[in-house]
Structure 1
Amino acid sequence: MHSVRQAPRVTIVRGDGVWVWDNTGHRYFDGTASLWYSNVGHGRAEIVDAISHQLGTLEAYHGFGDFATEPALRLAEEIAQRAPMDDGKVFFTSGGGDSIETAVKMARSYFAANGQPDRTVLLHREHSYHGMHGWGTALSGMPPNRVGEPFAPDVVQVPHDDAAELDRIIGTLGPERVAAFFCEPVIGAGGVIVPPKGYIEAAAQVCRRHGVLFIADSVICAFGRLGYWFGIERFDVRPDLIVFAKGVTSGYLPLGGVVAARHVAAPFWDRPGTVFRHGQTYSGHPAACAAGLANIAILERDGLLDAALKLEGPLLERLESMTDHPLVDHARGGVGVLGALELESGHLARSPSLPAQLMQVVRRRGAIIRPMGTALGFSPPLVTTEEDLDFMTDAVRAGLDEVYRTT
C-alpha cells in the first residue's frame, strides 16, 4: 500500500486478445494473463453475449437447499464430465480462495461423517500458494505471506519435491490424524516450480496408502493452462478433490468450485441428515456459470488445450534464451503455458527489489510480467503466438540490459 500510495496508477481500460491498453493509450502484451486466468484472451464477444443474455433472463439467484439455476446445473455437468474421477460432484464458490476454504471444510467433514473426527491435520508443500483467505494463508508455503502467523491449527508443511519425506511425516504425525494433502500440479505463485519426474504420482500413492485425501489445487493449472482440463491428469493421478477457479471463466466473471470424487461426496449425498453446512452467497451465480459455459465452448472449439501443449516448448525456449544474461540464473517451465526466470543470487542480494525493478522497466517496453520473490513469472493467454512470445522476449531482454547497466 505504501509503495503505490503516491505512484502513478496503471489504469487498464481495454483488452483484445493478448493485449491490454491503459488510459493513456499505451498497449501492453499481457504476459501474465492478468492473474493467471485470461486463458482464452481478452475481448471474447461470445462470453460477453452469454453473460448479457443470462442477465436479461435471470440476473441472479442462490443455489442453497433445493434451489438451482439452469446455467449452474449445466456447468456442473460439463465440469464433472471432464474431471478425472468417477461420478464427481461439483460445489460452486465465488473464486479460488473460497474454494480452498470449501475443500478444507469438506475434507474434515468427510472424515467426521465417517467416524474419524480426529483426522484434522492438513499438509501443504514448500513454496505452495493456496489463496489469501484464512485457510489459504495458513496453507501457504511462501514465508512473506505468513506474517502474523499462526493462522490456524493442525497445518504442517512438507518438502515440495520429496514423496518419501511426505510418507515419513505422515507416519510421524500418525495417519489417523491426517486429513488431506494439498498439491498444485505445478506450483504457480510460489515460483513456477515444475515437480520432479514421478513426484506427483508417488505423493498420490503415499496418500492412498495412508487414507489421506489428495487435493489437487488446480486454480492456476486448470482449463488448459497445462494442456488438460484440470492439469492433474498430466500426471495420471485421480485426486479425491479438485479445487478450480480462474480459467473456468477466463476471468470474465468470478467463479470457482470444488469437484469431489464419489466417495468423498457420498456421506452428504447418500445419507439423510448428514448435511454439509457451507456456501457463499454467490456460489454458482447464473451469469458467472453462463460465462463458464461459453468459455469451455471456446476452449474446445478453438483447440486451446492442444495449443497450450504446443506453446509450452516455445515459451521455455524463449526463457532459456535469456539465461546467458548476467542478471539471470536459470529458467523454469516446460509443463504448460507458464514459466519463470530465476534471477542471479548475487545481484538479488545487493538489490532485493530487482524483480520489481525489472517488472517496471519491461512494462515500459510494452510487456506485463510478474515479479515473484526471486524470479520473474510468465503465464500468457493460451491464444499467444510465437510472434507474441518474440515480442515479450525482446522486451524482457531489453529490460534486463537496461537494469544491468544501472546496477
Structure 2
Amino acid sequence: MTTPAEAIRHLWTHKTQDHPWLSDEELVVDRAEGVWVWTERGHKLMDAFAGLAVVNVGHGRREIAEAIAEQTVRLAYYPTTRQFSNRPAAELAAKLATLTPGDLDLSMFAVSGSEANERSMQIARHYWLARGKPDKHKIVSFHGGYHGATMGTYAICGIPRMAAAYAPLQPAGFVKCTAPHPFRDRGDGTDAQLVERRARELSEAIVHEGPDTVSAVILEPVLSSGGFIMPPIGWLSAVRAVCDELDVLMIADEVITGFGRTGRWFAVEHDGVVPDLMSVAKGITSGYVPLSASIARRRLAEAFPDDTTQENVHPNTYAAHPVACAAALANLQIMEKDHLVANAAAMGARLLGGLTDALRGVRVVGEVRGRGLLVCVDLVAPDGSGQPLDQEMVASLDRREWDRGAIIYARGSVLRLAPPLCITPEEIDTLVDLVAATVRELDRDLVK
C-alpha cells in the first residue's frame, strides 16, 4: 500500500508537480468538523478559508450526509436534458426563488461556478437573439475580476497572470473596465465621487463599443480573487443604472459572495439591487457535492421562443443532479435553522474589529477591510511608500500561519480570511490572535 506522500505524486493539482508542499505528507487532510480540519498526522488546524470560501455551514454536518445517502439510494442520477426533472431539483429551484432578491426566480443548474457564469453569458446571448437583436454579443467585465477556469470565463477574467496563456484563443467581443478600489484609489475623492467616476467610465466604454453590440455587464460584488476588493456601497446601484439606461443586462457573479458570506443572503442586497442574472455555486451546498446555478429574472425566459426545434442554451449531463440538489436543500435548511447569515454579519464585524485593533500601527499593514466573513489584510512595503508588499513575502504567510495552527489564503498583496459561517466568538478571537501574531512576525523580519 502506498503512503499518502507517494500517492499524491500521481495527483495533478493546479500546482506544478515539484511544488515543495506536495512532498509533505502533513498536507494530506484526513477529516474535518466545524471550522477545524485534521491532517493524516493528526495536526489540528483552523480552516480560516472554508476550503475555498465554500464550506459555509461548516464541516461534518450529518444532516447533509444523511440527505445525500437517502437521495443516492432513491435516485442517484437521471438527466434533465430532455423532458425529465426530479423532485430535489424542483424543490431547490422553488426555494431559491424565495431567497433571491426581486424577481430572480428561474434557476438553471450546472456543476461549477465557472459553468454558472458560462450559463449566464449564454442565457444573455440567447435573450438578445430572441429579442431580434443579434448584434448584442459583447460582454463587459472588470480588471481584477475572476469568473472561472473555462475558455469563456478566462475571456472575461481581469487578472492577466491567470488569463494570459489563453489570450490568443479568445475571440473579440470582451471589454474590460475598472471597478472602484477605495484603498488603492485613495486620494481621488470621496467614495461617492469614486463610484460616479467609475460608473461614468463604464457608460463611456459601452457607448464607445455601441450599446447595440453589448449584451451584458458581469461583475463580482466583491472582487475576490483580485484581492478582496470591496467597492463602496452604491457601486452596484450605479452599474444597474448604467445597464438600464443603455439596455444592457447585468450579471452578478455571486459564486463566492452568495449564501450569507457577506452577512446577507446575497451581496447585491447591500445595495438593494436586482441583477438580471445571478451566478451562484460554492455556498449553495457548502461544497458537500458540487452544484451551481444561473438564476434569471422571469422576463428573460419569457422572451425565449416556445419552438423546441430552435437552439437555445445547451443542456448539461449533470445539471440538476438529484443528489447535489438534495444536499443543497439540507444545506439551506441548516443555514436558516442556525441563523448563519446573521452570524456571518456579527462574526464578520468581530473579526474586522479585532484585526483592526490588533494590527494598528504595524508598518506592513495598509488596510484591514471586510464585508461579513470576507475579511482581509492589505499588506504594503514597510518603507511608507504604500506600495504593495512583495508577493513572495505575502505568500510566505500561508506557511507561517499553518505552523501556528490556521489555514489562510495569502496571494498578491492580500491576506484573505473567509471562515465557515458557523464560527463562534471564541474561534474568531483565536483567529485574530493567530493572524495578528503572524503579520507582526513578518513585520519584524522585514525591518530588521
Same fold at TM > 0.5? yes
**Cα distance change of structure 1 residues 144 and 276 upon mapping to structure 2, 3 Å threshold:** same
Which of 82, 88, 93 pairs up with 2:99? Answer: 82
- In structure 2, the residue corresponding to 1:268 is in which secondary structure? coil
Q: Which residue of 2 aligns with 1:210?
A: 246
1-side partners of 2:81 and 2:216: how far apart? 26
Which of 13, 35, 41 pairs up with 1:24? Answer: 41
Amino acid at match of 1:61: Y
2-side partners of 1:353 and 1:106: how far apart? 40
Which of 399, 412, 420 pairs up with 1:360? Answer: 399
Q: Which residue of 1 aligns with 2:280?
A: 244
> 1:233-273 CA distances to partner (integer Å, 9 max, x unpaired)?
22111110000000000110000010111111113365554
1-side partners of 2:107 and 2:230: how far apart? 27
Amino acid at match of 2:405: G
Matched ranges for 1:248-259 at <5 A: 248-259=284-295
Note if 1:327 corresponds to 2:361.
Answer: no
Q: RMSD of aligned C-alpha atoms?
A: 1.8
1-side partners of 2:377 and 2:307: how far apart? 51
Structure 2 gaps of 5+ residues are 1-15, 181-197
* TM-score, length of structure 1 as denominator length: 0.95
Which of 74, 77, 84 pairs up with 1:60? Answer: 77
Q: Which residue of 2 aligns with 1:8?
A: 24
**Cα distance change of structure 1 residues 66 and 339 upon mapping to structure 2, 3 Å threshold:** same
1-side partners of 2:368 and 2:21: how far apart? 33
Q: Which residue of 2 aligns with 1:396?
A: 435
Q: Which residue of 2 aligns with 1:146?
A: 163
Amino acid at match of 1:134: M
1-side partners of 2:315 and 2:131: how far apart? 21
Q: Which residue of 2 aligns with 1:122?
A: 139
- In structure 1, the residue corresponding to 2:304 is in which secondary structure? helix
1-side partners of 2:394 and 2:96: how far apart? 37
Note if 1:317 corresponds to 2:353.
Answer: yes
> 1:304-359 CA distances to partner (integer Å, 9 max, x unpaired)?
111122222112112313242232221121x2211111111358878431121011
Note if 1:158 corresponds to 2:194.
Answer: no
- In structure 1, the residue corresponding to 2:85 is in which secondary structure? coil
Note if 1:188 corresponds to 2:205.
Answer: no
Note if 1:387 corresponds to 2:423.
Answer: no
How far apart are 1:87 and its partner, in Å? 6.2
- In structure 2, the residue corresponding to 1:147 is in which secondary structure? helix
46-55 vs 186-195, greater mean Cα deviation: 186-195
Structure 1 gaps of 5+ residues are none
Q: Which residue of 1 aligns with 2:203?
A: 167
Q: Could you tell me the percent identity over the aligned residues?
A: 36
How far apart are 1:86 and its partner, in Å? 2.1
**Cα distance change of structure 1 residues 18 and 269 upon mapping to structure 2, 3 Å threshold:** farther
How far apart are 1:183 and its partner, in Å? 1.4
How far apart are 1:402 and its partner, in Å? 3.2
Amino acid at match of 2:365: V
- In structure 2, the residue corresponding to 1:384 is in which secondary structure? coil
137-146 vs 319-328, greater mean Cα deviation: 319-328
Amino acid at match of 2:363: P
- In structure 1, the residue corresponding to 2:107 is in which secondary structure? strand
Contact 2:77-2:323 within 8 A present in 1 as well: yes
Which of 402, 408, 414 pairs up with 1:369? Answer: 408
How far apart are 1:374 and its partner, in Å? 1.0
Note if 1:285 corresponds to 2:359.
Answer: no
2-side partners of 1:171 and 1:50: how far apart? 50
2-side partners of 1:106 and 1:324: how far apart? 49
**Cα distance change of structure 1 residues 310 and 352 upon mapping to structure 2, 3 Å threshold:** closer
2-side partners of 1:275 and 1:67: how far apart? 18
344-353 vs 227-236, greater mean Cα deviation: 344-353
2-side partners of 1:270 and 1:81: how far apart? 26
How far apart are 1:6 and its partner, in Å? 5.5
Note if 1:39 corresponds to 2:56.
Answer: yes
2-side partners of 1:388 and 1:269: how far apart? 53
261-270 vs 158-167, greater mean Cα deviation: 261-270
Amino acid at match of 2:436: R
> 1:256-293 CA distances to partner (integer Å, 9 max, x unpaired)?
01011111111336555444241321111111000000
> 1:93-148 CA distances to partner (integer Å, 9 max, x unpaired)?
00101111111111111111211111111011121111111121111111221222
* TM-score, length of structure 2 as denominator length: 0.87
